[in-house]
C-alpha cells in the first residue's frame, strides 16, 4: 500500500483526514443500526426478533474474519476498503428503497444486516492494516488512541442524533444517511491512498485462502505472546459483551430509570471512552501496552462488580461508574491494536487483525447467552458482579502469564 506523497512527511494531515472521514462513516452506520433495531422493537415487540437482528449484524463478520485477512494481505488495500464501504452503502440503499416502497419484510432486513456484516469483515482489519503505512512506528500507540477518539465522538453523537432523526424523518431517509457517510469515506480513500503494489512478498504465488490463512496463524504462533493475546481477547469478549448489552436492562429494570436515563448512561460511557482515547494518545509509547491491557480489564471489572453491589436506588453511582468503565476501553483496544501493528510484519498484518476480530466476535454470542440466562435466573445485578469478578481474575492472569510478559511492550 502506497500513500500519495509516499513519504511520512505529511502523515499527521493524512491520518487526520482519514480518521475524520471514517468517523463520519461510523456515525452514519451507528445511526442506521439504531434505527433498524428501534423499528424492529416497535414493530414486533419481540426480544427474539431483536436478538436475531443483532446476530445477523455480527455473525457473518465473525465467520469471514477467519479468512478476510488473506484477501487484505494479498490484494490492493485501497481497493478492498473502497469495495467493502461500497458494498455496505449498496445494502443501505436497497434497504432504504424497500422502506420507501412498502412494509419491509423482516427476513429482508435480516439479509441486509448480514450482507453489511460481510463488508465489515473486510473493512475494519483492512483500515487498521493501512495505518502503519501512514504513521511512523513510534507514533502508532498515539494514533491508536486518536482512532479510538474518533470512534468515541461518533458513538457519543449517534444515540442523540439517531433519536431525533428517527422521530422526525421517515426511516428510509435515516438509512440513506449511511450512503452519504460511505461516499465521504470512499472519496477520502480514493484521493488519500494511491494504488500500490501488493503488500505480500509472495504475491507471485497463486492465491490459496486456506494456505494464506494458515500462514497468518503460524506467524501469530511463532511470535511470543501473540496467541495468549488472542485468548485474552476472546475471554474478555465473553465477559464484556453481556455487560455492555445489558446496560439498558440494568438501568431501566433494576435501577428503575427511564429511556432518557438509559440514553444518558450510553452517552456518559462513550464520553469516558473519549477521555480514555485522549489519555492514551498523550501517553503514546510511554506506557507498557500489556500492563495497560491488564489495568483496563481490571478497572472495568471493578466497575462492573461495584455496579452489581449497588442498591436499586444507586442509579447516579452507576452513571458515575459507567464513565470510569468507559475510560478503560481505549486502553484495551488501542493497546491491543498497537501490539499487532508493531509486532506483526505488514505482509501478515491483515490476517493477524482479522483473526483477532474473529475470535472476539465468536466469543460474543456465547457471552450473551450466558449473560441472558444468568440474568433471568439470578438477576441482572448479579450478572454484573460475577462478570466483574471474572474480569479482575483475567487481568491478574494477563500480568502473571509468562507468555504475555515476553511481549516486552
Q: Which cell numbers in the block locate residue 249?
A: 436492562
Q: Where does 45-204 show beta strands of DSSP type E?
A: 193-194
The fraction of the chain above a pLDDT of 90, given in percent, is 27
* Strand pairing category for 2-3 and 193-194: antiparallel
Q: Please tell me the distance from the alpha carbon of residue 317 to that of residue 377, in angstroms, as a whole number.
A: 25
Per-residue pLDDT tens for 168-224? 889 999 999 999 999 999 999 888 876 654 455 444 556 666 777 777 788 888 888
Per-residue pLDDT tens for 254-304? 898 876 787 788 788 888 988 888 888 887 667 888 899 999 999 999 999
Q: Please tell me the distance from the alpha carbon of residue 98 to that of residue 121, in angstroms, as a whole number.
A: 24
Q: Please tell me the distance from the alpha carbon of residue 330 to that of residue 278, in angstroms, as a whole number.
A: 9
> Sign of dihedral through CA atoms 306, 308, 312, 316?
positive
Helix (H) or strand (E) holding 2: strand 2-3
Instruction: State the pLDDT at residue 177.
Output: 94
85-99, 113-127, 283-297: which has the highest mean pLDDT?
85-99
**Domains and their CATH numbers in the chain:** 2-194+207-405 (1.20.1250.20)
Pick the range with the lowest mean pLDDT from 87-101, 107-121, 296-310, 327-341. 327-341
Q: Could you tell me which residues come within 8 angstroms of residue 33 by beta carbon, excluding any fewer than 6 positions away?
A: 57
Closest to 55 (Cα-Cα) out of 71, 66, 40: 40
Residue 303 CA to its chain's centroid (Å): 21
Instruction: State the pLDDT at residue 208.
Output: 65
Closest to 336 (Cα-Cα) out of 199, 82, 175, 145: 145
Average pLDDT, the chain: 83
Q: At what angle do helices 11-44 and 106-130 cross, to 10 degrees?
A: 160
Average pLDDT score over residue span 39-55: 76
Q: Could you tell me which residues come within 8 angstroms of residue 364 by beta carbon, excluding any fewer than 6 positions away?
A: 58, 62, 237, 238, 241
Average pLDDT score over residue span 342-346: 80
Q: Please tell me the distance from the alpha carbon of residue 284 to that of residue 138, in angstroms, as a whole number.
A: 8
- How is 269-305 classified by DSSP, letter by letter? HHHHHHHHHHHHHHHGGGS-HHHHHHHHHHHHHHHHH
Instruction: State the pLDDT at residue 204.
Output: 52
Residues facing residue 3 across a β-bridge = 193
Q: Which cell numbers in the block locate residue 54?
A: 443483532
Q: Please tell me the distance from the alpha carbon of residue 270 to that of residue 158, in angstroms, as a whole number.
A: 10
Pick the range with the lowest mean pLDDT from 76-85, 164-173, 359-368. 359-368
Residue labelled with grid coordinates 490476517:
351
The phi, psi pair for 186, rounded to 5°, reads: -65, -45
Instruction: State the pLDDT at residue 387.
Output: 93
Q: Which cell numbers in the block locate residue 335?
A: 493497546
The band of 1, judged by pLDDT with boundaries at 50, 70 and 90, is: very low
Q: Could you tell me which residues come within 8 angstroms of residue 93 by beta carbon, excluding any fewer than 6 positions away?
A: 176, 179
The fraction of the chain above a pLDDT of 70, given in percent, is 90
DSSP label at residue 105 = P
Q: Please tell me the distance from the alpha carbon of residue 147 to that of residue 155, in angstroms, as a whole number.
A: 13
Q: At what angle do helices 346-378 and 226-245 cross, to 10 degrees?
A: 40
Q: Which cell numbers in the block locate residue 63?
A: 465467520
Q: Which cell numbers in the block locate residue 396?
A: 491478574
Instruction: State the pLDDT at residue 304.
Output: 95
Q: At what angle do helices 315-343 and 106-130 cross, to 10 degrees?
A: 50
Q: Do 76 and 196 form a contact (C-beta atoms < 8 A)? A: yes
- Give the Cα-Cα-Cα angle 87, 130, 69 (nearest 5 degrees): 60
Amino acid at each position: 500500500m502506497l500513500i500519495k506523497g509516499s513519504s511520512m512527511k505529511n502523515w499527521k494531515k493524512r491520518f487526520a483526514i482519514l480518521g475524520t472521514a471514517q468517523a463520519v462513516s461510523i456515525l452514519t452506520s451507528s445511526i442506521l443500526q439504531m434505527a433498524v433495531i428501534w423499528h424492529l422493537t416497535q414493530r414486533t415487540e419481540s426480544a427474539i426478533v431483536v436478538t436475531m437482528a443483532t446476530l445477523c449484524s455480527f455473525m457473518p463478520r465473525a465467520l469471514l474474519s477467519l479468512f478476510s485477512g488473506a484477501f487484505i494481505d494479498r490484494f490492493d488495500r485501497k481497493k478492498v476498503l473502497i469495495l467493502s464501504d461500497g458494498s455496505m452503502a449498496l445494502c443501505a440503499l436497497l434497504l432504504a428503497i424497500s422502506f420507501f416502497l412498502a412494509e419491509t419484510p423482516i427476513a429482508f432486513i435480516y439479509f441486509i444486516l448480514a450482507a453489511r456484516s460481510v463488508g465489515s469483515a473486510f473493512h475494519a482489519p483492512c483500515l487498521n492494516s493501512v495505518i502503519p503505512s501512514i504513521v511512523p512506528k513510534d507514533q502508532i500507540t498515539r494514533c491508536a488512541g486518536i482512532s479510538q477518539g474518533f470512534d468515541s465522538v461518533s458513538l457519543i453523537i449517534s444515540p442523540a442524533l439517531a433519536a431525533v432523526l428517527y422521530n422526525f424523518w421517515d426511516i428510509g431517509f435515516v438509512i440513506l444517511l449511511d450512503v452519504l457517510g460511505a461516499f465521504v469515506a470512499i472519496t477520502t480513500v480514493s484521493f488519500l491512498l494511491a494504488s500500490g503494489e501488493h503488500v505480500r512478498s509472495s504475491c507471485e504465488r497463486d492465491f490459496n485462502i486456506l494456505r494464506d490463512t494458515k500462514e497468518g496463524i503460524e506467524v501469530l504462533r511463532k511470535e511470543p505472546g501473540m496467541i495468549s493475546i488472542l485468548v485474552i481477547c476472546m475471554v474478555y469478549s465473553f465477559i464484556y459483551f453481556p455487560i455492555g448489552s445489558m446496560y439498558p436492562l440494568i438501568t431501566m429494570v433494576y435501577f428503575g430509570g427511564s429511556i432518557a436515563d438509559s440514553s444518558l448512561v450510553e452517552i456518559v460511557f462513550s464520553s469516558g471512552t473519549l477521555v480514555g482515547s485522549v489519555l492514551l494518545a498523550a501517553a503514546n509509547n510511554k506506557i507498557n501496552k500489556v500492563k495497560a491491557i491488564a489495568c483496563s480489564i481490571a478497572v472495568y471489572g471493578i466497575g462492573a462488580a461495584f455496579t452489581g453491589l449497588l442498591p436499586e436506588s444507586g442509579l447516579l453511582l452507576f452513571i458515575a461508574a459507567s464513565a470510569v468503565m468507559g475510560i478503560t476501553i481505549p486502553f484495551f483496544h488501542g493497546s491491543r491494536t498497537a501490539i499487532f501493528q508493531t509486532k506483526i510484519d505488514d505482509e501478515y498484518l491483515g490476517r493477524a487483525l482479522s483473526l483477532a476480530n474473529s475470535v472476539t466476535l465468536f466469543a460474543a454470542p456465547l457471552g450473551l447467552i450466558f449473560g441472558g440466562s444468568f440474568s433471568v435466573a439470578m438477576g441482572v445485578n448479579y450478572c454484573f458482579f460475577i462478570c466483574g469478578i471474572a474480569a479482575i481474575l483475567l487481568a491478574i492472569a494477563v500480568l502473571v502469564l509468562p507468555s504475555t510478559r515476553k511481549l516486552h511492550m
